[in-house]
Amino acid sequence: MSIELTHGKLTLNHHGIAILKRSRGVRLTVARGTAWLTIDGESRDIVLNPCDQFVIASDAAVAISAIAGPVEISVRPAAPAPTRVARLMGQIARTWLRVRGVLAGAAHAAAGAV
């Protein structure tokens, strides 16, 4: 079975095989069974057990085999990695919260000293 799937659930019977095409950025999460992934053009294979996740990093065909009983795999788009700007904005926000807390504490202490 050859499919293009970026969202949903993939179920394979024991020894069943599916081939995902053009799936860059898709996160596979095994809910049940054990899956064997082979990515076209790569020398490594990946074995995923229940709760294991794998994000497909290329558009190469990915063969998924059910090697231990039936396999259920959740297929979802992977969350994009935060950009440098987003990380910097988070750091600025956290720093501002700390500064605001210090200033509020100083104002409270000054009010009690009067």
pLDDT in tens, 13-48: 988 999 998 888 899 999 999 999 999 999 999 999
Position of tokens 């993939």? 10
Largest CA distance in the chain: 79
What is the C-alpha separation between 91 and 17, in angstroms, rounded? 45
pTM attached to this predicted model: 0.64
Helices (H) and strands (E) in the chain, counts: 1, 7
60-101 pLDDT, tens per residue? 999 999 998 899 999 988 877 667 887 888 899 999 999 988
CA distances from 30 to 14, 34, 66 (A): 14, 7, 11
Assigned CATH class of 2-77: mainly beta
What does the domain layout of the chain look like in residue ranges?
A: 2-77, 82-114
